Structure 1
């Protein structure tokens, strides 16, 4: 049977039916298109990475430091007693040997009196035995008046009683030393920075023996401690001048001298602890202040390493960057140095060309496999 022909178009009816079906599929509703577009696409997160770069050696190294008092100590009681009186409080300037606190212990006072009475008793006993020996000795000069055994007995008794005086005196001095602990004096000239107890508190074994009564710090001489990276240890010389500044006095520079070098490199930071003594007459600077130290160096080795500031992050226990090794993020402990424009100088187990995360993330644990994309700095 021949196919029917549409009189207006001149096309076969069957062909028109097929074209209509195609047009109807192309003009489907927006909702239907959205349903088709909702097919999930597996797009993986890519972390931006950069290469560690090296710069020319510097002639002055900027390092953070902390001021500490030259001497500081907690003052604890040495005997079981009660706090009788406090003669110093927080902020008081005290001199070496100054009375700071008085304690009381009645049993110690009684022991001292008893020990003193034993000394006097021993002295009296020795006086008696010595007198007897002297009389026996004089009598023994008369032939047959005193037997040699009696003379030896009197002599031995006198010697024994003399040694009793020595023992009694030793015991008395030991008790006297314990009683002296009831007066707490300043071990050096400084400032009282803390007071924990009040009059009436029981101190010593069985009481609040773990709490110091007072804390004293020396202020007229301070220590500045800095960690110098291993790269620059060859430039450290005892007696070399060092300049530093503190936030409290932004427009003022202070100068000290390198006094001690620990001669030990810490493996976790690859740095060595250096101490700088600083005379502080008047107590202008305070222990605990952070300082920015400018250390003259002339390293002739490889250049310093720099990374973006965002690549360095700090936690409670360390400062680190995250190095990419075989597609996995690994934390590398570093120490920060100078800050340049958008860059931070770092010291640690890194080398130029290592790939690290451009922005460190504390949420990434060591050994986490990640997808990375190397970008320019």
Structure 2
């Protein structure tokens, strides 16, 4: 009997353990579910809570910015002076750094063959002049004789007239050829086309000179107008609308640290450079005592005042994500409303925004971020 009891008890123990474990598991599961349900009831949804938010009223304003761009100083006028005809340099009257006046003689050349051509042309003129005088006299005699009836036929008169007209045309051609050679001789003198400074000299006495690409590769002189300079800058496409004619700008150069110079906008290209996508802008500069020279690089401060009033908001009021650029407006029922905008210029923590759905007086969230969902309540 005892043996049978022990066997029965041993067989029932595993079953009892399974029952106890199942009861404990069900008890734990039930208590965990009740706890989660209790927390769910106690904790409200995030979107249903009104988030306290700082706001401001949307108004229009004008944002003024400054554009700092590199510029280049160039001579207002600059020219490379070449010889018109192939010749030899006879005399040079100026050198590098010489200040010259308009019309001043800079150099003289000599070309012996031109002198021979001039003498030949002069001789031809005299020859044609003698021929014309003879033919004209013959014509006058024939005309006078023809007044007596039956002495000279009309055909002889016409032929004499044609001959003296032909000789007159030959005389005019000879005079034109002589004038052409005489004008060519004037090119043997190089004169200054405007007042300025000789910035380069590339020849010496006795050198062979001539037109560009024929007689010499380099010019005889380079003449620059240095008392009147151009300050040239390239303004990016996005900012060309803010430029104004006769606008005053300031700039500085490395050769005069700490000093600031002024210039006036005079010429706008009116078109964009195909490579840089920028508009060439020129300003007039009148330096004193050669403190500014052609070729200097300048740091230019271009003021960019707004022409029209636009919406200006703090930079923190803009949500700039990979998907969209927007501001958050507070609707009439105090909910967040995302409004897509386009950004303009930024200056001192303020940014221009453009949006067709914005209107003056809208309430905008000051510190916008992606955690404020579209449609969530705000306080």
TM-score (ref. length: structure 2): 0.61
* 1:145 match: secondary structure: coil
**Deviation digits for residues 121-164 of structure 1, max 9, x if unmatched?**
22222111111111111111011111112111111111111111
**1:150 and 1:267, CA in 2 relative to 1: closer, same or farther beyond 3 A?**
closer
More helix by share: 2
Aligned with 1:139 (options 127, 138, 145)? 145
Change (3 A) 1:120 1:293: same
Partner of 1:266: 273
Q: Deviations over 1:201-254 (max 9, x none)?
A: 112379752121111111121111001122211111222222222222334332
Structure 1 residues 207 and 62: alpha-carbon distance in aligned structure 2, compared to 1, 3 A threshold: closer
> How does 1:1-377 map onto structure 2 within 5 Å?
59-204=65-210, 208-266=215-273, 268-280=275-287, 282-298=289-305
Are the structure 2 counterparts of residues 236 and 177 from structure 1 closer, same or farther at C-alpha, using a change threshold of 3 Å? same
Aligned-pair CA distance for 1:107:
0.3
Does the CA-based 8 Å contact 2:86-2:215 persist in structure 1?
A: no
Secondary structure of 1:245's counterpart equals strand
Calculate the aligned-residue CA RMSD, in Å.
2.6
Distance verdict in 2 for CA 1:61–1:207, change over 3 Å: closer
What stretches of structure 1 of length at least 5 have no aligned partner? 1-55, 304-339, 341-377
| Range that drifts further, 207-216 or 223-232 | 207-216
SS in 2 for 1:242: strand
Contact 1:69-1:221 within 8 A present in 2 as well: yes
Counterpart contact for 1:221–1:281, Cα < 8 Å: no
Rg larger for: 2
Report the count of equivalent residues.
Answer: 251
Contact 1:57–1:301 (CA under 8 A) maintained in structure 2 = no
CA contact (8 A) 2:249 2:264 kept: yes
Runs of 4+ residues deviating >4 angstroms:
205-208, 299-303
Query: Matched residues in 1 for 2:283 and 2:83: separation?
Result: 33
Query: Any idea what SS the aligned residue of 1:155 has?
Result: helix
How far apart are the structure 2 equivalents of 1:190 and 1:217? 5
Higher strand share: 1
> Mind listing any 5+ residue stretches in structure 2 that lack a counterpart?
1-61, 314-347, 349-379
Distance 1:302 1:260 in 2: 31
CA distance in 1, matches of 2:116, 2:104: 26
TM-score by length of 1: 0.62
1:374 corresponding residue in structure 2? none
Deviation digits for residues 73-131 of structure 1, max 9, x if unmatched? 11111211111111110000011111111111100111011111211222222111111
